[in-house]
Amino acid sequence: EYILLSADVGATTTERILDELHDVVDEKLLRDRADVKDELKRIMVDILDENPKPEYEYPLVIMVSGVNGVGKTTAMGKLAKKFKKDGKSVLLVAADQLTVWAERAGVRIVKQAEGADPGSVVFDALASAKAKKDDVILIDTAGRLHNKKNLMDELGKISRIVAREMPEATYLNYIVLDATTGQNALSQVDVFNEAVDIDGIILTKLDGTAKGGVVLAIAGDLEVPVVYIGVGEGIDDLEDFDSEAFIDAIVD
Ligand code: GDP
């Protein structure tokens, strides 16, 4: 219980996991500490694996949301580099501050000026992506949360434009969460989930002391998978999420 709570798994999910563990221990008459630990890990991995990562084909449009400071800009730069490394042609549709990451990743960027209508920028960017036959289009969104209605309007509008202009594309919504914010991340997913269906989580800052256990609560309650993890500030510090390695890091 202490391990789970200190890893930010949260009270409700911790209770669920331990109840299940008690049942298994009784059922299988487990007495050995190592066996109990293995069962604990299996229960936790199963919770995460209940929500498989989204599958996709190209062209792929990813809309990335997240509140300011969670590492959204960094994550988009890393994602751009990752797809580029796989030989894909990538277009960033983003605010000015992403220009430097576009350069680092070696990808094109269509800039979204402060205050400009995000809908029209996305429209222009998709036209450009179609002309250049880009494989991956990464769309940045405003990180302001102070006005829920604005946020919903913006995300809804972008989604409609993508669906209309690129119906052939796989379209995914990713939310970026900071592992160091603990249970707060749960309410962030809630807010964004009201605006759009979230397909996946990019969990950042797992290179520090934070264990990111809140994703178990998110997986259990909100049924959203973790797709990538951020493990540093460098452009290559993005890894595919591996549920077993992640749970080992929490429990061991
Ligand atoms: P944004 O406001 O959400 O766009 O956040 P930024 O991308 O500007 O990142 C905020 C801060 O977090 C910056 O100092 C980043 O270097 C740092 N950061 C982002 N991702 C990671 C990560 O995975 N690990 C660490 N240690 N720092 C990160």
Query: In Å, what is the CA distance from 52 to each residue of 20, 136, 173?
Result: 21, 21, 15
**CA-to-CA distance for 94 and 197, rounded, in angstroms?**
21
Cβ of residue 207 lying under 6 Å from some atom of ligand 1: yes
Per-residue pLDDT at 144 = 67
Which two three-digit tokens encode residue 35?
Answer: 């066996």
Which two three-digit tokens encode residue 23?
Answer: 């049942």
**CA-to-CA distance for 25 and 119, rounded, in angstroms?**
55
What's the 184 CA to ligand 1 centre distance in angstroms?
A: 17
**Nearest residue to 54 via CA among 225, 182, 194, 216:** 225
- Confidence grade of residue 145 (pLDDT, cut at 50, 70, 90): low
Q: Which of 45-59, 138-152, 161-175 has the lowest mean pLDDT?
A: 138-152
- The strand pair at 238-240 and 226-230 is best described as antiparallel
Mutate which of 74, 174, 228, 239 for ligand 1 pocket (most atoms within 8 A of beta carbon): 74
Cβ of residue 236 lying under 6 Å from some atom of ligand 1: no
Q: For the range 152-159, what are the long-range contacts, defined as Cβ-Cβ under 8 Å and sequence gap of 24 or more?
A: 152/194, 152/195, 154/118, 155/63, 155/65, 155/192, 155/195, 155/196, 156/195, 156/196, 157/118, 157/119, 158/63, 158/118, 158/119, 158/122, 159/63, 159/196
The three-class DSSP label of residue 69 is coil
What's the 29 CA to ligand 1 centre distance in angstroms?
A: 46
Mean pLDDT across 211-237 = 94
Residue nearest to atom 28 of ligand 1 (CA): 233
Cβ of residue 72 lying under 6 Å from some atom of ligand 1: yes
**CA-to-CA distance for 8 and 216, rounded, in angstroms?**
9
What's the 110 CA to ligand 1 centre distance in angstroms?
A: 22
Cβ of residue 118 lying under 6 Å from some atom of ligand 1: no
- Confidence grade of residue 2 (pLDDT, cut at 50, 70, 90): very high
> Higher-confidence residue: 194 or 51?
51
pTM strictly above 0.85? yes
Mean pLDDT across 190-205 = 92
**Nearest residue to 155 via CA among 202, 97, 194:** 194
Mutate which of 98, 233, 238 for ligand 1 pocket (most atoms within 8 A of beta carbon): 233
Residue nearest to atom 9 of ligand 1 (CA): 71
Place of tokens 């990451």: 101
Decide: residue 222, CB within 10 A, 0-12 exposed, 13-18 middle, 19+ buried.
Answer: middle
**Nearest residue to 202 via CA among 170, 224, 234, 175:** 175
Residue nearest to atom 20 of ligand 1 (CA): 71
What's the 239 CA to ligand 1 centre distance in angstroms?
A: 15
What's the 181 CA to ligand 1 centre distance in angstroms?
A: 13
Beta bridge partners, 15, equal none
